[in-house]
Amino acid sequence: MKATNVVWHNTKITKEDRQRLNNHKSCVLWFTGLSGAGKSTLATEVERELYKYGILAYVLDGDNIRHGLNKNLGFSPDDRKENIRRIGEVSKLFVDSGLFVISAFISPYREDRDMVRAMLPKSEYIEVYVKCSIDVCEQRDPKGLYKKARVGEIKDFTGISAPYEEPTVPELVIETDKQDIEDSVKKIITYIKNKGYIE
């Protein structure tokens, strides 16, 4: 049942106040791509690089979130939508707190990613398409999921028995089957520097 009689409570400290305190802007880097594309690996390396710049950043990882906040959700289209909605709301809170949030989720549906984009001011959402051919993702198969999906042990598996809708206008495309992790991280850091998020 939907909550009623709730009123937004304004605080005395604003997002801009927190950004000034942190000495940097805040935004969400939204990593989307197939399982095995390298989203989590890239996210943790970008977080580490931002740390070197003195940027307060935090990684929200798809598997990690399903251990807690979203542990009651499966992988049906409706559950995937709710998974992304919740992460969008959490990401929005992180941005409001003055932090960089790096969200690494398959997030296979454009509509769901657009929903998150619409939650934030235009300048605070950076969609990063972590692009990798499904053949390479299957060769990597770090969790053995593709093998299970191919024999029917996992249903609704993105790229095999469920769709992945590629981003049409991402801010960045990182092709992890064509460039190494160092170059990938450098491309992201260069982008956020050029856009004035960090100095």
As annotated, the binding site for ATP includes: 33-40
Q: Which one of 26, 107, 161, 184 is the catalytic residue?
A: 107
For 107, the token pair is 């997030």
User: Residue 107 catalytic?
Assistant: yes
Give the residue from 60, 58, 57 showing the smallest Cα distance to 24. 57
The tokens describing 112, both together, are 């769901």
Structure tokens at 68: 């807690």
The values of phi and psi at residue 134, to 5°, are: -65, -30
Q: How far is residue 109's CA from residue 162's CA, in Å, rounded to a whole number?
A: 10
Count other C-beta atoms under 10 Å from residue 81's C-beta.
16
Q: Residue 90 belongs to what H/E stretch? A: helix 77-96
Q: Which residues are catalytic?
A: 107
